[in-house]
Amino acid sequence: MDMATALRDLGVTDNVLTQREKDQLDRDGFLPLEGILTPEEVSGLNKRMAELTAAEGDRAGLEVHQENGTDRLADLVNKDPKFEVCFCHPRVLAAMKHVLGEFKLSSLNSRAARPGQGHQGLHADFGHPVEPGAYEVCNSIWLLDDFTPENGATRVVPGSHRRGTMPGDEMANPGDEHPDQIQLTGRAGTVVVFNSHLWHGGTQNRTDKPRRAMHSYFALRHLPQQLDQQAYLRVETYKRLSPAQRFILDVTGTG
Ligand SMILES: O=C(O)CCC(=O)C(=O)O
């Protein structure tokens, strides 16, 4: 298996994204893809995440990261076949290919900002700036609630992936508002692919309901994964995955 074969097997063809969409991703550093999930899929995913959150209790999210004021889950690859869409959808994979070329899944997690919580400093998901075009990581946020200006929709600084600086280089406090920031608002079922070198962060949820989303995060093939997919791989997961899906996860077997 190689990258080209895996992508072809998963339905990624040259015209899955338009030139305009690719240009938008290059220029702005993010691309909203509407209607990736149906309302039924969104409610099925939310139901499963609620079950997992209740079952895992204080341990939820620990495989990768816990964050005050949020409900996080990690290793979703192994927690239900429903989550497969997050690393197999042809439009999302086409966007990853456009930004990264040869890539693999780094992690698949969820993050719900609780009422009154969820504000993060602006950050990039990489330790240092890179030359424009030499991108190492790319993320996607899967909206499982409508994202509104009030409920903690992610903020981004458009074009900042090409700036060659990190937020802390330019801002006294990356927790502050940035004059050029915008919020990623949209309907549940939308996926926003965003270059992880783009400055971004969660905002405070000022409603009385959680703001739920998943992050399907990808990296160049030589980089370590945020969650070691091989180490966490369950036998039942391995058995149900196709060779192309295993390639995207960079797993070879369950030992
Ligand atoms: O969930 C969000 O709105 C963004 C989360 C994020 O950027 C992070 O956790 O690093």
Q: Which of 200, 214, 227 to mutate to test the pocket of ligand 1 (most atoms within 8 A of CB)?
A: 200
Q: Give yes or no for a contact between 94 and 16, defined as CB atoms under 8 angstroms apart.
A: yes
Q: Give yes or no for a contact between 122 and 177, defined as CB atoms under 8 angstroms apart.
A: no
**Per-residue confidence at 242, pLDDT binned at 50, 70, 90?**
very high
Distance 251 CA to ligand 1 centre (A): 26
What's the pLDDT tens digit per position in 73-105? 999 999 999 999 999 999 999 999 999 999 999
Average pLDDT over residues 100-126: 97
What percent of the chain stands above pLDDT 70? 99
Model confidence at 255: pLDDT above 70: no
**Per-residue confidence at 252, pLDDT binned at 50, 70, 90?**
confident
Domains of the chain: 3-249 (2.60.120.620)
The structure tokens 């937020």 sit at: 167
Query: Which atom of ligand 1 lies closest to the CA of 201?
Result: 7
Model confidence at 253: pLDDT above 70: yes
Pocket of ligand 1 (CB under 6 A): 111, 120, 154, 200-202, 213
Query: Which atom of ligand 1 lies closest to the CA of 184?
Result: 3
What's the pLDDT tens digit per position in 217-229? 999 999 999 999 9
Average pLDDT over residues 174-188: 98
Distance 28 CA to ligand 1 centre (A): 18
Q: What separation, in Å, do the N-terminal and C-terminal C-alpha atoms of the chain show? A: 19
Q: Is the pTM of this model over 0.85?
A: yes
Amino acid at 229: Q
Average pLDDT over residues 211-216: 98
Residue nearest to atom 6 of ligand 1 (CA): 201
Average pLDDT over residues 3-20: 97
Residue nearest to atom 2 of ligand 1 (CA): 202
Please state, in angstroms and as integers, the Cα–Cα distance from residue 48 to each residue in 53, 59, 81, 182, following that order.
Answer: 9, 16, 11, 31
Distance 218 CA to ligand 1 centre (A): 14
**Per-residue confidence at 158, pLDDT binned at 50, 70, 90?**
very high
Q: Which of 71, 120, 197 to mutate to test the pocket of ligand 1 (most atoms within 8 A of CB)?
A: 120
Helices (H), 66-205: 85-88, 90-100, 167-170
Give the contacts of 93 (CB within 8 A, at least 6 positions apart). 7, 10, 12, 87, 248
Residue nearest to atom 7 of ligand 1 (CA): 201
Helix (H/G/I), strand (E/B), else coil: 83? helix
